[in-house]
Structure 1
Amino acid sequence: MARYTGPTTKISRRFGVALFGSSKALERRNFPPGQHGLRAGRKKKSDYSVALGEKQKLRFQYGVLEKQFRGYYEEAARRRGVTGEILLQLLELRLDNVCYRLGFGNSRQAARQLVNHGHVLVNGKRVDIASYSVKPGDKIKVGAKPSSQQLALRMIDLTQSAPLVDWLTLDKEGLEGTVSRIPDRADIDPLVNEQLIVELYSR
């Protein structure tokens, strides 16, 4: 499936949050890109515009295209519980995101590439689909090939200062992680108001 491959700093500056991990662009220029960027924040946004912006932020944060994102929303709406929280859980349990949370990638894009290139095993079987949904009890491990091990170790070194989330456990020496449970909203700490996204799709 196609994915966004354009400039990431522009997207982060457009929404005013570090959607792709690095906040350097926002530190230098904390206003939207373009020749009218400095004046863009003065215009009052409609409720629809705000809700649309929240959806776009979440899409870009997890690297999901529109059709796939709608699929996640529809699945969340079908399940019992709070739709917005379930939507966040579905996105958080993507294999590429879990690899990112484990430190196997210093960004979600890097973790996705690790998965797509066949470096990751789930319960002992190679999985090269970034959107694969993991479940509690699943074991995610880096393959035994030297190239896979070297790549993962380099990423672990880059991400060692980042704290591990509570719903995952990690064996750094074995380059293996386990999904302990489904994350709560407090574990995810999203950059968006997911309720606005639910209201947007409910119109």
Structure 2
Amino acid sequence: MARYTGPKTKIARKFGEAIFGDDKSFEKRNYPPGQHGNNRRRGKKSEYAVQLMEKQKAKYTYGILERQFRNMFKKATRASGITGEVLLQLCESRLDNIVYRLGVAPTRSSARQLVSHKHITVNGELVNIPSYQVKPGDVVGVREKSKSLLVIEESLQNNKSVYEWMSWNSEKKEGTLVNTPERSQIPENINEQYIVELYSK
């Protein structure tokens, strides 16, 4: 697989924020990676560099590869609404992201693994495609045989996040996507306008 499996803290330091969630190593060394770290003199970034960084940040945050991300952008441009906003909504509606947001998995990469290993159902049917687009009204749940998995139990216990656009039934271990989130409800620190400008060149 062409998925990024390298050191995550290094990527987080590159962007100057913990994009993969809580990271003690990042807190200790909150400066760019490399031999000179903070001391290296960096000139003013070009407009293109800023736009590219924003796109890379979005890709790493959601764990999406370039071709997939570009296809999502094309889909967003065809849809009605603000392109950048629609793009983030498409990212948020991915099954692996929904599983992560519901608290079933502690990170997006572990959520992707749960989906790939057939632990997750959508409307009662097993779905093992992490990029599957969940629609409002869809019920995302944990497969009956997987409900006792330790990783799922621990993640649900430690989950403190509540999102207005989804509901969770702790007894059945399933959640419903109530509606597509508005941009103001998406907590990710991404400037989607830069991504639109980059792809529009």
Q: Please indicate the TM-score interval, normalised by the length of the shorter structure.
A: over 0.9
SS in structure 1 at match of 2:164: coil
Q: Distance in 1 between matches of 2:21 and 2:188?
A: 13
Partner of 1:51: 51
Deviation of 1:165 after TM superposition, in Å, equals: 0.6
Partner of 1:149: 148
Deviation of 1:187 after TM superposition, in Å, equals: 1.0
Q: Distance in 2 between matches of 1:40 and 1:184?
A: 39
Q: Alpha carbon RMSD of aligned pairs, Å? A: 1.3
Which string of whole-angstrom CA distances, capped at 9 and with x for unpartnered residues, describes residues 95-154 of structure 1?
A: 000000000011101111111100000001000000000000000110010x44324222
Q: Distance in 1 between matches of 2:153 and 2:35?
A: 42
TM-score (norm 1): 0.94
The more displaced of 35-44 and 172-181 is 35-44
- How do residues 118-157 of structure 1 correspond to structure 2 at under 5 angstroms? 118-145=118-145, 147-150=146-149, 151-157=151-157
Q: Percent same amino acid among aligned pairs?
A: 51
Q: Distance in 2 between matches of 1:53 and 1:24?
A: 23
Deviation of 1:28 after TM superposition, in Å, equals: 0.5
Partner of 1:100: 100
Matched length: 200
Q: Distance in 1 between matches of 2:188 and 2:51?
A: 15
Contact persistence 2:147–2:173 (CA under 8 A): no
Contact persistence 1:139–1:179 (CA under 8 A): yes
Deviation of 1:201 after TM superposition, in Å, equals: 0.4
Contact persistence 1:152–1:175 (CA under 8 A): no
SS in structure 2 at match of 1:2: coil
SS in structure 1 at match of 2:44: coil
Q: Distance in 1 between matches of 2:156 and 2:100?
A: 10
Change (3 A) 1:172 1:12: same
Unpaired runs of 5+ residues, structure 1, are none
1:10 and 2:27 aligned: no
TM-score (norm 2): 0.95
Partner of 2:69: 69
Contact persistence 2:103–2:161 (CA under 8 A): no
**Paired amino acid for 2:143:** G
